[in-house]
Amino acid sequence: MSITLTLFILSVIFWFIATVLHIVMLVHGFKTSTKWGLICLLVPLGSLVFAFRQFGGGGRRIAAFVFLLAIVSGGVCAGVASCQTAQAAFGSAEAGAQGMKEADIQIQELENLEDLQLDL
């Protein structure tokens, strides 16, 4: 299994964890108040702010850290995987361009050979 596929799978896992925790925080936000529920729903990273403000300490604050870690890790894995993919595609494009140059040279050599045969 390639590193790109591994990073993609890790990215999907991290984003799944972040989505589940976001839903949990969204439900808890609406249970706390409508204002917090709407903030969690409509404001980017509002769930993270809610989690750090509402979850006092102990084990419940761990959910906020796991949520933050899942978002960052998912983003990093997705970014590195896309860079790996782009680098592989660019390398393939360079190889294709080199192959085209070699094909052009061979065509020119064949045309020159045909010209020599016609001259004879």
Q: Which residue ranges make up each domain of the chain?
A: 3-119
Lowest mean pLDDT among 21-30, 67-76, 81-90, 111-120: 111-120
**What token pair was written down for 98?**
């080199």
User: Which helix H or strand E contains 72, and what residues bound it?
Assistant: helix 59-119
* 29 close to 52: Cβ distance less than 8 angstroms: no
- For residues 1-35, b (16+ Cβ closer than 10 Å) or e, as one string? eeebeebbebbeebbebbeebbeebbebbeeeeee
Taking the C-alpha atoms of residue 86 and residue 88, their distance in angstroms, rounded to an integer, is: 5
**Per-residue pLDDT tens digits for 97-106:** 666 677 677 7
Give the pLDDT confidence of 82-102 residue by residue, as tens digits: 777 766 666 655 656 666 677
Residue 78: other Cβ atoms inside 10 A: 17
